[in-house]
C-alpha cells in the first residue's frame, strides 16, 4: 500500500460511485434503490457499473420527488444481496470516491451489514465534496451542480446515480487539475487531505507524529510540504518543532517556522510530506 501511495494521481485507479435511496436515514430503515459507478485511471474509463436495486420497501415521497424512481421500476430489480458481490468485485483494488462520501458510505456500510458481508480490507475512500470545499474556499454553496458550474463542468444534475457519477467524475478531474497547480501531485497527498478517516489514515498520522517527535528529541528541524486550508495553498517550510498538541481529536505541530520567522501551529493532517533535516 505504501508503494501505491507514492504513485502519481494518473497512475492510480479510482472508482467514483453514487447511490439513490428510499430516504435519508439508513438507521431508520431507508435502503439503496440504485447504485452506479465509473472506474477510471487518468483520462481513461476502465469500466462502468449501474443497476437498480429492489429495496423491498416504499420509496419515500421526498426521495421520489428527487430521483423519480417508482415502485414499478424496482419490482423486477435484483435485491442488494445479489448486487453487492458484483459491486465489491468492481471496486476491488481501486480508491473509492463519492460526492459527499459519508452519506453514500453510510448507506453502503448499512447494506453490507444487513447482508452480513464484510467491507473490502484496506478500502480507501475519498470525499469529492471535501476536495471542493478545501480547494475552492469561499463558494456560496457546494451542491454538486453548483461546483460543476463553477468549474465549467457539465452541471445538469438529474439525481439519478449514473448521471451524478458522470458529473462527479468531471468535477473530480477539474479539481485534480487545481491540485496539480498547487503541487499536490501524488496519491498520498490526495488521501491525506480528502480521505475519510480510516485505519490507514490513522497509520499515516501516527508515522508523522513519530517523525516529529524524533526531530524534537534530536533537537533538529524538519522540512514539510504543508496545505493551508485557509488559503488553499501549498508551501514548503522548514520548522523547528517544539511540541505536539491534541485538540478535539486533531493533532497539531507547534514550532518555529523559518519561512514566517515566528512560532506557528500546523495541523498534522495538513502536512503532505515530512522529512527530518
- Residue bearing cell 447504485: 35
Q: What is the pLDDT of residue 67?
A: 87
Tell me what the mean pLDDT of segment 220-248 comes to.
94
Catalytic residues: 159
pLDDT digits (tens, 9 = 90+) for 75-90: 999 999 999 999 999 9
Whether 24 has a pLDDT exceeding 80, the answer reads yes
What is the rounded CA–CA span in Å between residue 112 and residue 31? 11
Tell me what the mean pLDDT of segment 201-221 comes to.
95
Quote the cell numbers at residue 73: 421500476
Q: Which residue has the higher pLDDT, 240 or 250?
A: 240
Q: What is the pLDDT of residue 97?
A: 98
Q: What is the pLDDT of residue 66?
A: 86
Tell me what the mean pLDDT of segment 229-234 comes to.
87
Question: Lowest-confidence range among 13-17, 43-47, 97-101, 117-121?
Answer: 117-121
Q: What is the pLDDT of residue 119?
A: 87
What is the rounded CA–CA span in Å between residue 132 and residue 99? 9
What is the rounded CA–CA span in Å between residue 269 and residue 190? 11
pLDDT digits (tens, 9 = 90+) for 30-47: 999 999 999 999 999 999
What is the rounded CA–CA span in Å between residue 32 and residue 47? 21
DSSP string computed for the chain: -HHHHTSBGGGSEEEEEEEEESSS-GGGT--EEEEEEEEEETTEEEEEEEEE-B-SSPPPHHHHHHH---HHHHTTSPBHHHHHHHHHHHHTTSEEEETTHHHHHHHHHHHHHHTT-PPPTT--EEEHHHHHHHHSTT-S---HHHHHHHHTS-------HHHHHHHHHHHHHHHHHHHHHTT--BHHHHHHHHBPP-HHHHHHHHHHHHHHHHHHHHT--EEEEEEETTTTEEEEEEEEEEEEEEETTEEEEEEEETTTTEEEEEEGGGEEEEEE-
Of 190, 186, 153, the closest CA to residue 169 belongs to 153
Number of C-beta neighbours around residue 163 at 10 A: 15
Q: What is the pLDDT of residue 254?
A: 98
What is the rounded CA–CA span in Å between residue 157 and residue 175? 18
Q: What is the pLDDT of residue 111?
A: 97
pLDDT digits (tens, 9 = 90+) for 94-109: 999 999 999 999 999 9
- Average pLDDT over all residues of the chain: 93
pLDDT digits (tens, 9 = 90+) for 126-164: 999 999 999 999 999 999 999 999 999 876 667 788 999
Q: What is the pLDDT of residue 154?
A: 73
Whether 192 has a pLDDT exceeding 70, the answer reads yes
Whether 1 has a pLDDT exceeding 60, the answer reads no
pLDDT digits (tens, 9 = 90+) for 179-188: 999 999 999 9
Amino acid at each position: 500500500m505504501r508503494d501505491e501511495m507514492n504513485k502519481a494521481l494518473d497512475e492510480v485507479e479510482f472508482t467514483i460511485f453514487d447511490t439513490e435511496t428510499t430516504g435519508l436515514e439508513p438507521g431508520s430503515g431507508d435502503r439503496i434503490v440504485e447504485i452506479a459507478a465509473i472506474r477510471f485511471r487518468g483520462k481513461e474509463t476502465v469500466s462502468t457499473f449501474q443497476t437498480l436495486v429492489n429495496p423491498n420497501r416504499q420509496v419515500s415521497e421526498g426521495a421520489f420527488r428527487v430521483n423519480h424512481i417508482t415502485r414499478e421500476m424496482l419490482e423486477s430489480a435484483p435485491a442488494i444481496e445479489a448486487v453487492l458481490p458484483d459491486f465489491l468485485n468492481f471496486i476491488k483494488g481501486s480508491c473509492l470516491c463519492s460526492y459527499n462520501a459519508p452519506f453514500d458510505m453510510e448507506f453502503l456500510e448499512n447494506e453490507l451489514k444487513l447482508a452480513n458481508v464484510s467491507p473490502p480490507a484496506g478500502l480507501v475512500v475519498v470525499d469529492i465534496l471535501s476536495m471542493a470545499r478545501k480547494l475552492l474556499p469561499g463558494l456560496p454553496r457546494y451542491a454538486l451542480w453548483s461546483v460543476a458550474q463553477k468549474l465549467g463542468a457539465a452541471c445538469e444534475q438529474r439525481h439519478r446515480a449514473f448521471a451524478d457519477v458522470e458529473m462527479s467524475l468531471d468535477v473530480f478531474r477539474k479539481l485534480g487539475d487545481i491540485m496539480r497547480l498547487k503541487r499536490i501531485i501524488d496519491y498520498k497527498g490526495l488521501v491525506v487531505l480528502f480521505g475519510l478517516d480510516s485505519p490507514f489514515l490513522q497509520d499515516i498520522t501516527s508515522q508523522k507524529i513519530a517523525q516529529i517527535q524524533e526531530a524534537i528529541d534530536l533537537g533538529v528541524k524538519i522540512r514539510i510540504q504543508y496545505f493551508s486550508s485557509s488559503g488553499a495553498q501549498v508551501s514548503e517550510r522548514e520548522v523547528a518543532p517544539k511540541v505536539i498538541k491534541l485538540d478535539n481529536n486533531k493533532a497539531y505541530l507547534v514550532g518555529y517556522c523559518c519561512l514566517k520567522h515566528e512560532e506557528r501551529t500546523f495541523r498534522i493532517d495538513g502536512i503532505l510530506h515530512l522529512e527530518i533535516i
